[in-house]
Amino acid sequence: MAEKLKIISLGGLNEIGKNMYVYEYGNDMIVVDCGVGFPDDDMYGIDLVIPDVTYLEKNKEKLRGIFLTHGHEDHIGALPYVMDSISAPVYATALTAALADIKLEEHGNDSKVQMVTVKAGEKVKAGCFNVEFIHVNHSIPDSVALAIKTPVGVVLHTGDYKIDTTPIGEDIIDLARIGELGKHGVLALVSDSTNVENAGYSLSERRVGVSLDEQFKDCRDRIIVTTFASNVHRIQQVIDCAVKYGRKVCVTGRSMENILRIATELGYMKIPAGVIMDINQIKNQPRDKAVIISTGSQGETMSALHRMAFSEHRQIELGPGDKVIISASVVPGNEKTISKVIDELFRRGVQVVYDRGSLLHATGHACREEMKLMLALVKPKYFIPVHGEHRHLELHGAVAKEMGVKPNNVIIANIGDVIELSGRSIMVHDTVPSGRVFIDGIGVGDVGNVVLRDRKHLALDGMVVVVITLSSQDGELVSGPDIVTRGFVYVKESEALIDQLKTLTVEAVESCAKRRITDWSGIKNAVRGRLSDYLFAQTKRNPMIIPVIMDI
């Protein structure tokens, strides 16, 4: 039986983020992207979420390369963690490679990773695969789609893309090459689904520049602009407006400082001499001659904007005479955090511009008409929507069917599904180990679902610790019980409840003695069960109960 091409998602399906896709044929395998996800509200203490790469570790001798489509966290952020357990050359365009190198260096494994810089238009041979980098527009420069030539046909993996006919500082997406591929025949299109719910076409980045100019014109306030640090073109347009209106610019926020340095070194940003000002000089600059470009468009606690809003920034204090422009859309889940920052800015007398109607942000993802154009150009036999929650995948699949892809040739997959395809068929044939690995501090994977469940339990209901001392000779209660609570009730106002818990504990211990239960596990279970039933009956709460037994 002839080999089939396998396409496996280890992340990026039924979620926004954590993008990682495996292409496998025979004894060869490549990986597209290596991204992180961000924790949900109930993932207490978790910093980042990365894909489970058990399948890669088991097949690392097959791995011929990792190909990165662009430099966003959800496509490169897991690289330092993944490269601890596997080894393969990493292929990326210049800006993407530079951003990945920073992450690898911070993690201390940059010397172990072979980073190969490529340009759009180049091709890389990796085992039986031949991968071509194709220029696309996105909200970060140097973004590419990948045309992956396999023994069974060509697969076009779009990465994150939009069709911007008037981009800033770069060419329009290479529709000519994409159309040429479609003319010669594309077996499968694996495509970004993020904005499928939005009809029409995405806003051009150049239109945002017009809106920014309107905000700068005739403004006498100090202007603070916050946006995604990776949006080099947006930052360039802010600097252009500052130059036009005779303002100096300072940058605050570590990621913003890094991107400014890297993009300038690589030639993606052009900043006239004397425009950038040291942040320590900002107090000496007249308000109508100053612009601050800041991180914190999502209200992140440690970001520069958050620190400015809550008077925690060492160099900048905001108040009347300041105008904050939030040039970013709110990522789902961040509504509360950014609202908290905006409220605090209003309390300080700051003018805040954040209305979506002001056209101060342009998405980096294709809207529905752009998706249709992509499908019309590529004319794929098979269609696999990725990069989206389940509704996005289903809706994108419906668009593909509308554009002529046969219903049976559209695959809505789950993480870990093995999609097998050839020139004659496509189907989900199997599954591989997949899921989420949690990053907590320097710990990778040492926090699992059981620990998260306990953290959630503690956060919602608190805990009760019961300490008793038993005689090592006869098991009789020698002292205690002592009751310690955290996050459950205020002890000084609940003395009657605490006294009853002590009484119930004594009864449980005595009951165990009568039934000749002497092992500590049995006694702890008895105490836990008695107290749990009582507390739920009295408070309708279910705190974590931790019996502690000592013997003398």
Question: Which helix (H) or strand (E) segment is 4 a member of?
Answer: none
The three state secondary structure string of 413-475 is CCCCEEEEECCCCEEEEEECCCCEEEEECCEECCCCHHHHHHHHHHHHHCEEEEEEEECCCCC
Token digits of residue 331: 């990522």
Angle CA 57–61–67, to nearest 5: 75
DSSP-assigned beta bridge partners for residue 188: 155, 382
Residues near 68 by beta carbon (within 8 Å), at least 6 away in sequence: 32, 33, 34, 75, 76, 79, 90, 91, 92, 93, 96, 97, 100
Question: Is 396 considered catalytic here?
Answer: no
DSSP letter at 328 equals: S
3-state secondary structure of 37: strand
For 81-104, b/e burial (b = at least 16 CB within 10 A) is bbbeeeebebbbbbbbbbbbbbbb
> What is the residue-wise DSSP string for 57-75?
HHTGGGEEEEE-----HHH
DSSP letter at 329 equals: P
- What whole-number distance in Å separates Cα of residue 406 and Cα of residue 139? 32
C-alpha pair distances (Å), 162 with each of 138, 191, 202, 333: 6, 11, 7, 23
Number of Cβ atoms within 10 Å of the Cβ of 443: 12
Single-letter amino acid code for the residue at 381: K
Residue 427 in contact with residue 419, Cβ under 8 Å? yes
Angle CA 394–397–400, to nearest 5: 160
C-alpha pair distances (Å), 483 with each of 184, 463, 468, 514: 75, 10, 9, 24
Q: Residue 197's closest CA among 464, 421, 393?
A: 393
3-state secondary structure of 29: strand
Catalytic annotation, pick one of 160, 192, 322, 461:
192
Token digits of residue 178: 């994409």
Angle CA 157–160–165, to nearest 5: 105
Catalytic annotation, pick one of 135, 233, 365, 392:
365
- What whole-number distance in Å separates Cα of residue 135 and Cα of residue 158? 10
Question: Is 440 considered catalytic here?
Answer: no
| Active-site residue list | 192, 365
